Amino acid sequence: MSQPVTTNPFIIMLINMTVVFLVLIALGLVIRLIHVFDPTAKKEEKPAQAPAPVQEAEPVPELPNSYDGVDPEIIAVIAAAVASMGGGSLKVRAVRPLEREGWKQSGRLGR
């Protein structure tokens, strides 16, 4: 075991915190560089822009899938969850938002 460079605790703190910050800042730069040079990112952006004219040509018909202001995606998720539990012949008749937060919270906090 060689002799430490310094034994002044405050200098050790200063040097080490600086190194920790510098290394993590360098990592942050690496992350940004990866993001900039990401060849796959552009490919994903293009199709996102492409469907725009298609939507104009063929307006999406007003599907009867929004009940009481519930997001159709939420309805799809709930229907999928019900179907996955084996209820082959079950139908989701209504999805209504409730004001009570208790179930939501316990669902989110519970493991």
Backbone angles phi, psi at 11, to 5 degrees: -65, -40
Q: Closest CB to other proteins among 36 and 94?
A: 36
- By the rule CB under 8 A, 38 interacts with other proteins: yes
Question: Are residues 95 and 67 in contact, defined by beta-carbon separation less than 8 angstroms?
Answer: yes
Q: Closest CB to other proteins among 41 and 90?
A: 41
- By the rule CB under 8 A, 110 interacts with other proteins: no
Binding map of other proteins across residues 6-35, x = CB under 8 A, - = no contact: -x-xx-xx-xxx-xxx-xxxxxx-xxx-xx
Q: Closest CB to other proteins among 13 and 90?
A: 13
Longest distance between any two alpha carbons in the chain, whole Å: 77
Separation of alpha carbons 60 and 54, rounded Å? 10
DSSP 110: -
